[in-house]
Protein backbone atom coordinates (compact mmCIF):
# COMPACT_ATOMS: atom_id res chain seq x y z
CA UNK A 1 0.00 0.00 0.00
CA UNK A 2 2.80 2.39 0.93
CA UNK A 3 4.51 1.87 -2.44
CA UNK A 4 1.26 2.42 -4.35
CA UNK A 5 0.81 5.79 -2.64
CA UNK A 6 4.40 6.80 -3.41
CA UNK A 7 3.95 5.72 -7.04
CA UNK A 8 0.73 7.75 -7.37
CA UNK A 9 2.42 10.81 -5.85
CA UNK A 10 5.39 10.40 -8.21
CA UNK A 11 3.15 10.10 -11.27
CA UNK A 12 1.06 13.07 -10.09
CA UNK A 13 4.13 15.28 -9.66
CA UNK A 14 5.73 14.08 -12.90
CA UNK A 15 2.52 14.74 -14.81
CA UNK A 16 2.28 18.37 -13.71
CA UNK A 17 3.70 20.61 -16.39
CA UNK A 18 5.55 23.52 -14.85
CA UNK A 19 5.04 27.14 -15.73
CA UNK A 20 8.52 27.38 -17.27
CA UNK A 21 7.85 24.42 -19.53
CA UNK A 22 4.52 25.84 -20.69
CA UNK A 23 5.96 29.24 -21.67
CA UNK A 24 9.34 28.11 -23.01
CA UNK A 25 8.30 28.16 -26.67
CA UNK A 26 6.49 31.50 -26.34
CA UNK A 27 9.55 33.07 -24.76
CA UNK A 28 11.77 31.70 -27.53
CA UNK A 29 9.44 33.30 -30.06
CA UNK A 30 9.74 36.63 -28.24
CA UNK A 31 13.52 36.36 -28.38
CA UNK A 32 13.19 35.81 -32.13
CA UNK A 33 10.89 38.87 -32.42
CA UNK A 34 7.97 36.67 -33.49
CA UNK A 35 5.53 38.45 -31.22
CA UNK A 36 2.19 37.49 -32.83
CA UNK A 37 3.11 33.79 -32.64
CA UNK A 38 4.09 34.20 -28.99
CA UNK A 39 0.80 35.96 -28.26
CA UNK A 40 -1.10 33.08 -29.86
CA UNK A 41 0.62 30.56 -27.57
CA UNK A 42 0.18 32.62 -24.39
CA UNK A 43 -3.42 33.72 -24.94
CA UNK A 44 -5.15 30.46 -23.94
CA UNK A 45 -2.98 30.20 -20.81
CA UNK A 46 -3.69 33.81 -19.83
CA UNK A 47 -7.43 33.59 -20.37
CA UNK A 48 -7.96 30.28 -18.57
CA UNK A 49 -8.53 30.55 -14.82
CA UNK A 50 -5.82 28.64 -12.96
CA UNK A 51 -3.47 28.95 -10.02
CA UNK A 52 -0.85 30.39 -12.38
CA UNK A 53 -3.15 32.68 -14.36
CA UNK A 54 -1.47 35.80 -12.97
CA UNK A 55 1.97 34.94 -14.31
CA UNK A 56 0.52 33.88 -17.67
CA UNK A 57 -1.41 37.16 -17.85
CA UNK A 58 1.79 39.11 -17.22
CA UNK A 59 3.63 37.25 -19.98
CA UNK A 60 0.69 37.66 -22.33
CA UNK A 61 0.35 41.39 -21.57
CA UNK A 62 4.04 41.99 -22.29
CA UNK A 63 3.87 39.92 -25.49
CA UNK A 64 0.83 41.86 -26.74
CA UNK A 65 2.62 45.11 -25.94
CA UNK A 66 5.64 43.97 -27.96
CA UNK A 67 3.29 42.94 -30.77
CA UNK A 68 1.94 46.50 -30.83
CA UNK A 69 -1.52 45.72 -29.48
CA UNK A 70 -1.56 48.29 -26.69
CA UNK A 71 -5.31 48.01 -26.12
CA UNK A 72 -5.11 44.25 -25.42
CA UNK A 73 -1.93 44.73 -23.40
CA UNK A 74 -3.59 47.38 -21.24
CA UNK A 75 -6.69 45.22 -20.71
CA UNK A 76 -4.50 42.27 -19.71
CA UNK A 77 -2.43 44.34 -17.28
CA UNK A 78 -5.62 45.75 -15.75
CA UNK A 79 -6.98 42.22 -15.35
CA UNK A 80 -3.66 41.14 -13.78
CA UNK A 81 -3.85 44.08 -11.39
CA UNK A 82 -7.34 43.03 -10.26
CA UNK A 83 -6.20 39.42 -9.98
CA UNK A 84 -3.27 40.45 -7.76
CA UNK A 85 -5.70 42.05 -5.34
CA UNK A 86 -8.02 39.05 -5.31
CA UNK A 87 -5.30 36.42 -4.70
CA UNK A 88 -3.31 38.37 -2.12
CA UNK A 89 -3.98 35.95 0.72
CA UNK A 90 -2.63 32.62 1.98
CA UNK A 91 -4.83 29.53 1.96
CA UNK A 92 -3.77 27.33 4.88
CA UNK A 93 -5.07 24.17 3.21
CA UNK A 94 -3.18 24.91 -0.02
CA UNK A 95 0.04 25.68 1.83
CA UNK A 96 -0.31 22.43 3.77
CA UNK A 97 -0.95 20.50 0.56
CA UNK A 98 2.01 22.14 -1.14
CA UNK A 99 4.30 21.03 1.68
CA UNK A 100 3.07 17.45 1.35
CA UNK A 101 2.73 17.22 -2.42
CA UNK A 102 4.01 19.99 -4.64
CA UNK A 103 4.94 23.69 -4.48
CA UNK A 104 2.81 24.17 -7.59
CA UNK A 105 -0.38 23.70 -5.57
CA UNK A 106 -0.03 27.23 -4.16
CA UNK A 107 -1.70 29.94 -6.21
CA UNK A 108 0.82 32.33 -7.71
CA UNK A 109 0.33 35.76 -6.11
CA UNK A 110 3.17 37.72 -7.66
CA UNK A 111 6.21 39.24 -6.00
CA UNK A 112 6.34 42.82 -4.77
CA UNK A 113 8.40 43.95 -7.74
CA UNK A 114 6.03 42.27 -10.22
CA UNK A 115 3.06 44.06 -8.70
CA UNK A 116 4.83 47.37 -9.29
CA UNK A 117 5.79 46.32 -12.83
CA UNK A 118 2.11 46.03 -13.70
CA UNK A 119 1.68 49.76 -13.03
CA UNK A 120 4.91 50.65 -14.83
CA UNK A 121 3.83 48.80 -17.97
CA UNK A 122 0.38 50.34 -17.76
CA UNK A 123 2.00 53.78 -17.50
CA UNK A 124 4.11 53.04 -20.59
CA UNK A 125 1.02 51.89 -22.52
CA UNK A 126 -0.90 55.01 -21.51
CA UNK A 127 2.03 57.26 -22.44
CA UNK A 128 2.24 55.55 -25.84
CA UNK A 129 -1.44 56.35 -26.35
CA UNK A 130 -0.93 59.98 -25.17
CA UNK A 131 -3.23 59.31 -22.21
CA UNK A 132 -1.22 61.36 -19.72
CA UNK A 133 -3.88 61.43 -17.00
CA UNK A 134 -4.05 57.63 -16.86
CA UNK A 135 -0.23 57.44 -16.89
CA UNK A 136 -0.15 59.79 -13.90
CA UNK A 137 -2.63 57.58 -12.04
CA UNK A 138 -0.33 54.61 -12.58
CA UNK A 139 2.68 56.65 -11.43
CA UNK A 140 0.79 57.46 -8.23
CA UNK A 141 -0.03 53.79 -7.75
CA UNK A 142 3.67 52.95 -8.18
CA UNK A 143 4.49 55.50 -5.49
CA UNK A 144 1.83 54.10 -3.15
CA UNK A 145 3.15 50.56 -3.57
CA UNK A 146 6.73 51.72 -3.11
CA UNK A 147 5.84 53.57 0.09
CA UNK A 148 3.93 50.52 1.38
CA UNK A 149 6.92 48.29 0.60
CA UNK A 150 9.21 50.65 2.49
CA UNK A 151 6.84 50.70 5.48
CA UNK A 152 6.66 46.89 5.35
CA UNK A 153 10.48 46.92 5.35
CA UNK A 154 10.78 44.95 2.13
CA UNK A 155 14.31 44.07 1.14
CA UNK A 156 15.89 46.22 -1.56
CA UNK A 157 15.81 43.34 -4.06
CA UNK A 158 12.02 43.23 -3.66
CA UNK A 159 11.70 46.84 -4.79
CA UNK A 160 11.14 47.60 -8.44
CA UNK A 161 13.45 50.47 -9.26
CA UNK A 162 12.36 50.55 -12.90
CA UNK A 163 8.81 51.32 -11.77
CA UNK A 164 10.10 53.94 -9.37
CA UNK A 165 12.10 55.48 -12.23
CA UNK A 166 8.98 55.63 -14.43
CA UNK A 167 7.02 57.24 -11.60
CA UNK A 168 9.74 59.76 -10.79
CA UNK A 169 10.02 60.80 -14.45
CA UNK A 170 6.32 61.53 -14.44
CA UNK A 171 6.94 63.74 -11.41
CA UNK A 172 5.10 61.64 -8.84
CA UNK A 173 7.36 59.09 -7.13
CA UNK A 174 9.96 60.09 -4.62
CA UNK A 175 13.53 59.37 -5.58
CA UNK A 176 15.24 56.47 -3.87
Within a domain: residue 149? Answer: yes
Rounded Cα distance between 52 and 79, Å, is 14
Question: Could you give the C-alpha distances from 120 to 63, 99, 125, in angstroms and in order?
Answer: 15, 34, 9
Residue 169 scores a pLDDT above 90? no
Within a domain: residue 76? Answer: no
Of 114 and 27, the structure prediction assigns the larger pLDDT to 27
HSE, CB side, 13 Å, CA atoms: give it for residue 163: 25
Within a domain: residue 81? Answer: no
**Is the domain of 65 the same as that of 132?**
no
**Is the domain of 96 the same as that of 32?**
yes
Within a domain: residue 79? Answer: no
**Stretch among 25-29, 145-149, 170-174 having the lowest mean pLDDT:** 170-174
At 17, the pLDDT band (50, 70, 90 cuts) reads: low
Per-residue pLDDT, 147: 83
**Is the domain of 115 the same as that of 163?**
yes
Structural domain of 5: 1-69+89-108
**Is the domain of 34 the same as that of 54?**
yes
- 56-66 as b/e, with b when 16 or more CB fall inside 10 Å? bbbbbbbbbbe
Of 28 and 112, the structure prediction assigns the larger pLDDT to 28
Residue 174 scores a pLDDT above 90? no
**Is the domain of 103 the same as that of 44?**
yes
Residue 72 scores a pLDDT above 80? yes
Number of domains comprising the chain: 2
- Other C-beta atoms closer than 10 Å to the C-beta of 138 total 27
Amino acid sequence: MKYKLLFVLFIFNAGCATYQHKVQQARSLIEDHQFPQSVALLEPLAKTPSDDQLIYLLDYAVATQLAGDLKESTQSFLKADKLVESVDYHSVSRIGSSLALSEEMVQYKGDSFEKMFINAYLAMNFLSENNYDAAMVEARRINEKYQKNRLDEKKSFEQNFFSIFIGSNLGISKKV
